[in-house]
Amino acid sequence: MTNEPGSGAALARRALEDLAERGESLAAAESLTGGLLSATLTDVPGASRSFTGAVVSYATRIKESLLDVPAEVVATHGVVSGECATAMALGVRARLRTTWGLATTGVAGPDSQEGKPVGEVWVAVAGPSGVEVRRLALSGDRRAIREQSCREVLALLTEALDTEPAIPAREEPDLG
């Protein structure tokens, strides 16, 4: 990935700098990106000031057991859904006790999944004021879809950081 504006690397750098300035923390729940989002974030020097960790939940049972995605969400909507992305973002935020939680889930290919086409991706950002979720229709090979998914969830995070007021450190939520 390049470091050009709009690239995953540039978006990661900007988000992590903003989070560090705000004294806030970030965790990620990854499915189709399989750790690529975490790698993009940890490629930024000083990422540990805000990025606490991630759960790569490729298997449905991991989404349910480690991220607390309700079985009803999986049964009703599937893992390639906005509902699952929302639950993943909220779950990783709560489990890792961070201000922000990111999630990626979808179909990178080469085959469809749950009747969803290759390139259907859902990304979510959970923060102090709630969750923003976005459906993406991406194209390209597996690598391209995974890279685009990382860029899109990081863009969604930077948008949220631009609109969400910072939480003073003493008021950061105790998530359990």
pLDDT tens digits along 16-34 = 999 999 999 999 999 999 9
What per-residue confidence (pLDDT) applies to 172?
47
**pLDDT above 70: residue 35:** yes
**pLDDT category of residue 95 using cuts at 50, 70 and 90:** very high
Q: Is residue 68 part of a domain?
A: yes
Q: What is the pLDDT of residue 3?
A: 56
Q: How many domains does the chain have?
A: 1
pLDDT at 176 over 90: no
pLDDT at residue 116 greater than cutoff 50 = yes
The CATH number assigned to the domain holding 144 equals: 3.90.950.20
The answer to whether residue 38 sits within a structural domain is: yes
Q: Name the residue range of residue 106's domain.
A: 8-171
pLDDT for position 171: 44
pLDDT value, residue 7:
86
Arithmetic mean of pLDDT, 61-79: 98
Q: Would you call the peptide bond into 117 cis, given omega within 30 degrees of 0 as the criterion?
A: no
The answer to whether residue 97 sits within a structural domain is: yes
E strands, 5-162, where?
Answer: 26-30, 51-56, 100-106, 120-127, 130-137
- Percent of the chain past pLDDT 70, that is, above it, reads 92
pLDDT at 175: 53
Q: Is residue 176, in this structure, part of any structural domain at all?
A: no
In a domain, 3, yes or no: no
Could you tell me which residue, 3 or 118, shows the higher pLDDT? Answer: 118
With respect to residue 1, please indicate whether it lies within any of the assigned structural domains: no
pLDDT tens per residue, range 146-159: 999 999 999 999 99
- Domain membership of residue 130 (yes or no) is yes
For residue 167, the model assigns a pLDDT of 79
Please compute Rg for the chain using Cα positions.
Answer: 15
Is residue 131 a part of any domain in this protein? yes
Distance, CA of 155 to chain centre: 10
Residue 169 reports pLDDT greater than 60: no
